[in-house]
Amino acid sequence: MSSVSLDKKKARPKIARSTYTTIAAVALLVILLVGGHLIYGKILAPNTMSSLLRNYAYLLILAVGLTFTILTGGIDLSVGAIVAFSSVAGVMLVGAGWNTYLVMVLMVLMGTGFGLISGVLVRYFNVQPFIATLSTMFLARGLASMLSTEPVRIPDGSPMKSLSTEVILYDGPKNMDFKISLNVIIAIVVLIIGFIILHRTRFGRTVYAIGGSENSASLMGLPTGRAKLMVYVISGTLAGLAGLVYASRIGNASNVVGTGWELDAIAATVIGGTLLTGGAGYVLGSAVGVFVLGTLNLLINRDGNVPAAATTIITGAILLIFVLLQRAITVSGNRGGLFKRKSRDVAAGGTPPDASSTALPLSESESAESGSAKVSASPAV
């Protein structure tokens, strides 16, 4: 009986501790969707779901880029400003008669350039990511303002607008259609590629390893320096792409667009389960975080009686709850690991550490072990 119970216990699938926040985000999204549907109606309708996808495709792209940088323990504050510069510069070039397809490529490459600047500052000059991307943010925002302080429109008939052309996938009754656009497809492709890179490539394992413990990753022979540079290049590139997606949907560009979007993308990434300290998180969780924020805005708009400022307050409250949840999971994980090490030492006939030693912070080797555990656990999902 006891052996059977042990076998069942061994066979029981374990849920990684790092997924708890992502599971909480999924549960919150389901509650918002189902609760909103019961209260306001038509939230789960095909046209509402497709509208969410189309309206937040740009934020999904930004969140994928932020996932890469936050997983390394870094941050990218420049993505909103890059959206502004790339969209204003791109629309002005189209208005000046440049080939639209060439301009769309250039818009993405503009983001790559800003990301490269941030990456070089972090990689070769050891500048803190917060400061490096803050300087890039001011640079991009200032350049966008120099180009134009007035909104610039995409010329009528421009192929750039075709990215937002809606195609009906499901022809429902009473305008309950499910529509998508090329922008949505681009965002989904970015999400899939981001998932594959992070969970199926050596570069992805290096990104997780840097967030777990950069010193340990270097000792393991992983190319940490190149990876730290590349995550900012990826984030900048996706910001340029988000600028293209957003401009094509709105039909114009402005130097003030994208203000605060970096915080929205960070919030979505954190709500989706990516640790701000790096080393654990999921790009699919970031997508869930985007739809949590999108659904929240949708419900507030449907209600009509909630002031717009409440959106920021509610978002801040949700972010605070998820940060505290992450902290609780991290602390409980460290205590659990320490308890297991004690039990293992006692079982092996060793002397358990005294109480004073447990009060000390983790040694470098213990930190490395913790980081390695994160690396081995995270890509498995």
Asked if the model's pLDDT at residue 24 lies above 80, the reply is yes
Give me the pLDDT at residue 13, please: 60
Asked if the model's pLDDT at residue 11 lies above 70, the reply is no
At 362, the pLDDT band (50, 70, 90 cuts) reads very low
Proportion of the chain above pLDDT 70, given as a percent: 83
pLDDT, tens digit (0-9, with 9 covering 90-100), for 229-272? 999 999 999 999 999 999 999 999 999 999 989 999 999 999 99
pLDDT, tens digit (0-9, with 9 covering 90-100), for 159-194? 998 998 888 888 878 778 888 999 999 999 999 999
CA 81 to chain centre: 17
Q: Closest by alpha carbon to 159, among 53, 244, 280?
A: 244
Give me the pLDDT at residue 19, please: 81
